Amino acid sequence: MRLVPALRMLSQGSLTDDQHQQLLSSLQLDESPRTEGPGAAMSVAHRSFTTDSGNQLVLDLATTGESGWILALFYDKQGGPPSDETVENHRVLFRGLAEQFGLHILDVVPAATADEVFVVPPAPYGTPESAIGVSWDPPHETLEQLWPHLGLREDAPREVKKVKLREIMRTPAWAAAPEALRFQAENFLRDR
């Protein structure tokens, strides 16, 4: 099986041993790590299952750092991705569990709403800017070319695109982006 992520939620917070067990139970996970696919080394529990339409999926819980939790839904590349409905049902499940256990959602991929997009916090006032990234290297001249560079599909929700666009516009490299792209970005943010 060649696993590919269909949905991934990164959250942060502390769980007691009882809460950890409740989380595993809620997702019906086996306390054995996933052994294949991206991020398998961080996996602590998983469950394989097949949907009514025949998709082989893997639900996974992984840890990162002392208080980082990753809930993910993977699919077998040979069998194809799960339906949008399956992904959205798992998104609702993951968000509900994060709320139930007091976990702060940092990032969801693919993002469906602006609050699911991780945004690097701006540097504190007075911090010197890094010289890294002060030139515009990507060959992107339009937003359509830029979206994949930002990790977005063309059909990503508009509010998600706005968050990602604002983030890249805060970088020193943005000043060196093609003028037409900067103009198009400003218009996009103004909903034109």
**How do residues 39-58 score in pLDDT, each as one tens digit?**
899 999 999 999 888 889 99
What gap in Å lies between CA 58 and CA 48, rounded to an integer? 4
pLDDT number for residue 63: 94
- Predicted model pTM: 0.73
Query: In terms of pLDDT, which residue wins out, 184 or 71?
Result: 71
3-state secondary structure of 123: coil
Confidence of residue 11 (pLDDT cuts 50, 70, 90): very high
| DSSP bridge pairs for 12 | 68, 104
CA-to-CA separations, 110 to 31, 34, 84, in angstroms, rounded: 26, 21, 11
What gap in Å lies between CA 128 and CA 137, rounded to an integer? 22
pLDDT number for residue 27: 96
Assigned fold of 3-109: TATA-Binding Protein (3.30.310)
The alpha carbon of residue 34 and the mean position of all alpha carbons in its chain are separated, in whole angstroms, by 19
Report residue 182: phi and psi, to 5°.
-60, -40
pLDDT number for residue 127: 57
pLDDT number for residue 135: 58
CA-to-CA separations, 135 to 108, 110, 174, in angstroms, rounded: 29, 28, 8
What gap in Å lies between CA 1 and CA 46, rounded to an integer? 15
Secondary structure element (H or E) that encloses residue 92, with its range: helix 84-100
pLDDT number for residue 134: 54
Q: What is the mean pLDDT of the chain?
A: 87
pLDDT number for residue 111: 84
Token code pair at residue 10: 């990164």
- Which sign does the torsion angle of CA 72, 75, 76, 77 carry? negative
Per-domain boundaries in the chain? 3-109, 113-192
Q: Which of 4-18, 102-116, 129-143, 161-175 has the highest mean pLDDT?
A: 4-18
Query: In terms of pLDDT, which residue wins out, 115 or 15?
Result: 15
- Asked if 108 contacts 9 with a C-beta cutoff of 8 angstroms, the reply is yes
Question: Lowest-pLDDT range, 45-59, 76-90, 167-181?
Answer: 167-181
**Residue given tokens 């256990």 in the structure block:** 101
Query: In terms of pLDDT, which residue wins out, 142 or 140?
Result: 142
DSSP result, 7-23: EEEEEE----HHHHHHH
The answer to whether residue 70 scores a pLDDT higher than 80 is yes
